[in-house]
Amino acid sequence: MKTVLLNDKQRKKIVNLVRPKENDYYSYQNLNLLTAVFDEDTKIYLTLAYYLSSSIKRTDEHYDDYTYVMLTPMGNYVVGCKEEAGNYKGIFSPLPVLISNKKILELIEYYRHSFSERFSMEKEAKKEMDLEGKGFTEWYLEKHYFEKKENAKCVNTTVVTDTTINKSHRIKVFSRICYGLSVISLVVGASFHGYRIHPEYVEHYNIGVTMGITMIMAFMIFLVAGILLTLMGKRKSF
């Protein structure tokens, strides 16, 4: 085993797995996105994701809580465990065929005991970085994760807003068309009134009555459709 620097591709995998929250500093306070332990035999990377001291938990339990991320050839996984004075419990392998609980424990112990080596490696790596006075993890998340999530939200909001506006506009246009057709129906129906006042001309009278009834029905249909579309348009605008 050895200590190595993580690359951007590996950092993205870790962040997408643990999903730190911008408004929750503790969700990434101990997240290590710079270095990891690498096992040459299994090709597995392991680094710390989360740590909670027993003194902070305020319970009768005296174990510290640790959460580690494992990047493996078979996928990426989170492994949790509890530790007190070098004694670990609750370690369960997500891939028993590829890696045993014992191997995970060895990785964790190596990670814990390689603090000085990791510290020196991280210090050297950060010499060429402008972290703006922040820790590497906080700086990286703000530049490559939190900011992108916020931009994605803005894009989605814009798309939804534009879609809503377009729908409301279309509904308004259709409602006006319906109102216009209802008026035209009344005008057309009225134009046949002359046929209806002379029942002695049976053929013309029947045409006048038929057109009158048809246009009244058309008027009612288009008027109701226009009212319904107007109500729908008002609901869409809220």
130 and 173 in a common domain: no
In a domain, 14, yes or no: yes
In a domain, 41, yes or no: yes
164 and 90 in a common domain: no
36 and 133 in a common domain: yes
Longest dimension (CA), the chain: 113
In a domain, 34, yes or no: yes
Is 0.75 surpassed by the pTM of this model? Answer: no
98 and 40 in a common domain: yes
In which region does residue 90 sit, left (phi positive, over 0), alpha (psi from -120 to 50) or beta (all else)? Answer: left
Per-residue pLDDT of the chain (238 residues; tens, 9 = 90+): 999 999 999 999 999 998 988 888 888 889 999 999 999 999 999 999 998 888 887 777 788 899 999 999 888 999 988 988 888 888 988 888 778 999 999 999 999 999 999 999 999 988 888 888 888 988 899 888 886 655 544 444 444 444 555 667 778 888 888 888 888 888 887 887 777 777 777 777 788 788 888 888 888 898 888 888 888 776 654 4
In a domain, 166, yes or no: yes
In a domain, 200, yes or no: yes
In a domain, 203, yes or no: yes
Give the number of domains in the chain. 2
Domain-terminating residue out of 138, 169, 190: 138
For residue 176, the enclosing domain spans: 159-237
